[in-house]
Amino acid sequence: MAGIHITDIEAAINYWREQKPSPDGVTLAPEIRALAEVYALMIYYHHDEAAEKGFPPKAYDAWLGWYRTTADAPCIAICSTSQGDEECKGCGRTFEEVQYWPEMSPGEKRSTWRRITMIGTSWRFNKYAERARGG
């Protein structure tokens, strides 16, 4: 089961803070309020992930609003899984992750992004970092 990491919730909250700033320094936009409730519970219970399935609908919609602004696939068009590697040297995904990427849920994709970013050894993060940035 895919989980939504607390850092993604923080990123989504910050995204909505930029999109819909508080008019008076107190009032929160509905998206921020929905995400903040989940965030607060995660902090209270010392959880760093919340299950994607069963995520409160308003919070999930707000999270998806942020998610749609992120890059979909970590691919940098140098795929070593097509050459038989179990893990792509270009993006860091496993053969199965590359193969099933279009079928993965947003939470599953973000979990994969988190793992490959934390490891940070694929060419996306060093040798071809400028290619990954699109420039």
Confidence band for 11, pLDDT divided at 50, 70 and 90: very high
- pLDDT recorded at residue 135: 54
Q: Token pair of 130, please?
A: 């400028």
Q: Token pair of 102, please?
A: 């279009």
Confidence band for 44, pLDDT divided at 50, 70 and 90: very high
Q: At what angle do helices 6-19 and 106-119 cross, to 10 degrees?
A: 110
Confidence band for 24, pLDDT divided at 50, 70 and 90: very high
- pLDDT recorded at residue 15: 98
- pLDDT recorded at residue 1: 63
- Please, which residues bridge with residue 4 across strands? 50
- pLDDT recorded at residue 128: 78
Per-residue model confidence as pLDDT tens digits over 121-131? 999 998 877 77
Q: What is the mean pLDDT of residues 4-25?
A: 97
Helices (H) and strands (E) in the chain, counts: 6, 2
Q: Can you tell me the distance from the alpha carbon of 29 to that of 94, in angstroms, rounded to the nearest whole number?
A: 38
Q: What are the two backbone dihedrals, phi and then psi, of residue 49, each rounded to the nearest 5 degrees?
A: -140, 150
Predicted TM-score (pTM) of the model is 0.90
Q: Can you tell me the distance from the alpha carbon of 57 to that of 94, in angstroms, rounded to the nearest whole number?
A: 30
Per-residue model confidence as pLDDT tens digits over 51-92? 999 999 999 999 999 999 999 999 999 999 989 999 999 999
Instruction: Label residue 20 exposed, middle or buried (CB < 10 Å: 0-12, 13-18, 19+).
Output: middle
Average pLDDT, the chain: 94
How many residues in the chain? 135
